[in-house]
Amino acid sequence: MIEKTEHYVRNRSWKAKLEFYFTRVESTLAISGLVLMLGLSLAEIILRNLFHASIPGADILIRYLVLWVSFIGAVVAVRERHIKVEIISIWLPEIWRRRLERPIFLFSAVVCAVITLAAVRFWHQEWINVPPGEKWITILGIVIPLSFFLLSLHFALRFVIGPRSRERKA
């Protein structure tokens, strides 16, 4: 597996390598979040049922880990084309689908960038107005603008690189 990965990375353009490494980071974040969420939940169950105790702030952390896993998982799903963000290509002939792939990637990148800006503004307002003791909770909320930024980045890279289907056939 490692040899395949090294071969894949070695024989690609810098843009494809950049996307590959972003993919690695996103997958690691999603898996780590899931493992941490499950481990923390299990620890809470054991502590509450056997020792009548709990980890302070664990409930809030688990709620935000659900957000992290959900949003980063959505980025992974869109990146892997499990979820399509456009529906127009379903009704188009193959030749038009190929012609419109890059403009659709560009449009998707722009939409996600606009949502990223709105999410950053919202998050920043929350950061300014939160009491000092709850800043750590606000830091966890950065996943929303981060995930839309990652989506925008992936769509922009796909616009520049081109559709993955041609890459795999080559």
Please give the full DSSP string across 46-84, using - where no structure is assigned: HHHHHHS---TTHHHHHHHHHHHHHHHHHHHHHHTTSS-
- Of 89, 80, 63, nearest to 151 (Cα)? 80
Q: What is the DSSP letter of 130?
A: S
Q: What is the pLDDT of residue 13?
A: 81
Q: What parts of the chain have a pLDDT lower than 70?
A: 1-11, 81-86, 164-170
pLDDT, tens only, 3-51: 555 555 666 788 778 888 888 988 899 999 999 999 999 999 999 999 9
Q: What is the pLDDT of residue 147?
A: 94
Rg (CA), the chain: 20
Q: What is the pLDDT of residue 6?
A: 58
List Cα–Cα distances, 130 to 35, 91, 127, 135, 138, in angstroms.
28, 48, 6, 6, 8
Q: What is the pLDDT of residue 163?
A: 75
Q: What is the pLDDT of residue 166?
A: 46
Tokens for 75?
A: 């980025």
Q: What is the pLDDT of residue 1?
A: 53
pTM of the model: 0.79
